[in-house]
Amino acid sequence: MAQVDGAEVAQHNTKKSCWIVLDSRVYDVTSFLLDHPGGAVVLLKNAGTDATTEFKKYHPLTYVKQLPAGSDLGPINPNTRTKLNKPKESTRPPADEFEAEKQIPHVSLCVSCPDFEKVAKSVLPRKSYTYASTSANYGLSLKGNLEDWGRITFRPRILRNVGDVDARRKIFGYSSPHPFYISPMGTLGAIHSEAELDVVRGAVRKGVHAVVSTASTRSTAQIADCHKEELQRCKGSPTELFFQYYMPVDRTKAIELIHIAKQAGYKGLWITVDTPVLGKRTTDRVLQAEEALAVGMDEEPASTWETGEDNAFAPAMGGRPGAGQLSPHTTWEDLVWVRKEWKGPIVLKGVQCAEDAKLALEYGLDGILLSNHGGRQLHTAPSSLMTLLEIKTYCPEVIGKLEIFLDGGLRDGADVLKALCLGATAVGVGRPYLYALAAYGAKGVERVTDILAEELAQGMRLLGVTSLDQLRPEMVNASRLLNEMWRPDSFSTRSKL
């Protein structure tokens, strides 16, 4: 294929004709503009430029294979690179690229989880911070998640010899010094240049387990390799990786993804079930509209999958579902074929009522994660604590038979303790790890783990226990939440519970 001149590429910088250079090849992405799950604006901002660096923040280079046939126009003539346009800089690069440590507080000054958000906000590009912090509609699910932990109080016991405490917990037989794990979060390349790799490094150094997102920036195999390498360095670390699964629409791809996760050695499949379509990420929408206007477009039209039609796929950064990752058609019956493909433990991520917890047991699942996706999906969804109380009230048998996980709004070791008192196996922590990654990379991930572990151990002592097995429901007062818990009433059809 003939080489393409940089000056010619530079001229194709509009929505009528948009060319970009990726990894030394020129691509005509005009017909792809409205199909790009990340939106047309980001491509237009990079029109006529070498977008490789920007592209690699979000995608593996293999993504270019998804472009329509005929998009590859050939290699760029290396002598004409200087004639390319320069990318339009509208945001600061991620923190690690501008020597963040010189400009931000020392990591030891972050002493509680909420401290990391303040630092992250000051170093992240606005788009990335918006992506991380956004929640559904006008934010009540997120607010409920954060507040409900404070609405349960402890009933501590005294004089119990609490000199030594042991906070070890097993998730499906895999032991960790910590009863919490790192929740899966997609597109971490927008947060830190090392993305999921630094999450894994930090996790291994502290022995905390992690669940890796389908929508990760780095490939499943890269992340698994990084895990192995870090384990070599930190001999004896018990950290295991589990895989968060967004089910692709296409069955062949869906099975292929399960096999990729199996091949990479992930120990469990966390199937996300609270996202048949993407929630309304309001602040993201505002930002997208602003960006569209900045490059001379009216508000960007929603793609067909964004409006929840047939080919709805996985949520990605910025409130747009990403092609090929998420099926809105999934039903309980799909779990039957998934089980044939995946022999290890399976967890349903996003159970939000007692009826579904019971169904999960009937369908032979191994665990359930009570979660409303960090308040990013259904507006005014129940907090995971509320769902746990429902389960304890209406189908307590589920608790001994399935491993029970909770996530959403956990910001303190004491929150972890409350969940465990009420019967949780372990809990997931999301944004605090993401914000810490943004500001401090792997060091931040380590620091969050240390903070939670210290708060937890201290909480155990002050509560009067020395091991997690001693935690009991009567050690907390959940009356306020119980008062508000759902009850079958005359409006309900006969409950199956």
Residues that bind ligand HEM (CB under 6 A): 20, 22, 27, 29, 36-39, 42-43, 46, 51, 54-55, 58-59, 63-64, 66-67, 215, 316-318, 320, 322-323
Q: Which residues contact 331 (CB under 8 A, 6 or more apart)?
A: none
Q: Could you tell me if 275 and 351 are in contact, meaning their C-beta atoms sit under 8 angstroms apart?
A: no
Contacts with ligand FMN in 124-163 (CB under 6 A)?
131-132, 145
297-326 residues in contact with ligand FMN (CB under 6 A) are: none
Beta carbon nearer to ligand FMN, 50 or 194: 194
What gap in Å lies between CA 56 and CA 51, rounded to an integer? 9
Among 259, 349, 291, CA closest to 125: 291
Candidates 159-167, 290-298, 424-432, 451-459: pick the segment binding ligand FMN (CB under 6 A).
Answer: 424-432
Enumerate residues 6+ apart whose C-beta is below 8 A from 98: 92
Q: How far is the CB of 145 from ligand HEM (least distance, A)?
A: 23
Tell me: does residue 349 bind ligand FMN (CB under 6 A): yes
Contacted by 63, from ligand FMN, ligand HEM, none: CB < 5 to 8 Å by type: ligand HEM
Which residues partner with 349 through β-bridges? 272, 369
Contact 118, 44 (CB under 8 A): no
One character per residue 66-105, x = contact with ligand FMN (rule: CB under 6 A): ----------------------------------------
Find which of ligand HEM, ligand FMN, none residue 367 binds, CB within 5 to 8 Å per kind.
none
CB of 170 to ligand FMN, least distance (A): 21
Extract the tokens encoding 494. 């006969």
Q: How far is the CB of 271 from ligand HEM (least distance, A)?
A: 18
Q: Which two tokens stand for residue 397?
A: 């048998």
Contact of 147 with 449, CB cutoff 8 Å: no
By CB under 6 A, how many residues form the interface with ligand FMN? 24
Q: Select 19 or 27, whichever has its Cβ closest to ligand HEM.
A: 27
Our finding on whether 217 is near ligand FMN (CB under 6 A) is no
C-beta closer to ligand HEM: residue 84 or 351? 84
Helix 442-463 vs helix 431-440: angle between axes, to the nearest 10 degrees?
A: 140
Shortest Cβ distance from residue 321 to ligand FMN (Å)? 11
CB nearer ligand HEM, residue 39 or residue 207: 39
DSSP alpha helix (H) spans, 66-112: 100-103
How near is the Cβ of 437 to ligand FMN at its closest, in Å?
11
- Catalytic residue list contains 373: yes
Q: Which of 13, 46, 128, 213 binds ligand FMN (CB under 6 A)?
A: 213
Among 109, 152, 213, 188, CA closest to 428:
213
DSSP letter (8 states) at residue 317: G
- Of 426, 406, 343, the closest CA to residue 170 belongs to 426
- Which member of 12, 178, 227, 373 is catalytic? 373
- Residue 306 or 390 with smaller CB distance to ligand HEM: 306
Minimum separation from the CB atom of position 317 to ligand HEM (A): 4
Question: Is 431 near ligand FMN (CB under 6 A)?
Answer: yes
What are 407's strand-pairing partners? Answer: 428
Does the footprint of ligand FMN cover residue 209 (CB under 6 A)? Answer: no
Question: What are the backbone angles phi and psi of residue 243, rounded to the nearest 5°?
Answer: -115, 125
CB contact set of 225 (below 8 Å; sequence gap of 6+): none
Is residue 429 involved in binding ligand FMN (CB under 6 A)? yes
Q: Which is nearer to ligand HEM, 38 or 114 (CB)?
A: 38
Strands (E), 214-317: 241-245, 269-272, 314-315
| Shortest separation between residue 353's beta carbon and ligand HEM, angstroms | 30
CB of 425 to ligand HEM, least distance (A): 31
First-residue to last-residue Cα distance in the chain: 66
| CA pair distance 198, 215, nearest whole angstrom | 16
CA atoms in the 13 A half-sphere facing the CB of 202:
25
Both tokens of residue 43?
A: 């491509």
The answer to whether 409 contacts ligand FMN (rule: CB under 6 A) is: yes
Question: Does the footprint of ligand FMN cover residue 59 (CB under 6 A)?
Answer: no
Furthest-apart CA atoms within the chain: distance in Å: 81
Asked if 186 touches ligand FMN (CB under 6 A), the answer is yes
Chain residues that interact with ligand FMN, rule: CB under 6 A? 131-132, 145, 183-186, 213, 215, 244, 272, 349, 371, 373-374, 407-410, 428-431, 434
User: Active-site residues: which are they?
Assistant: 373
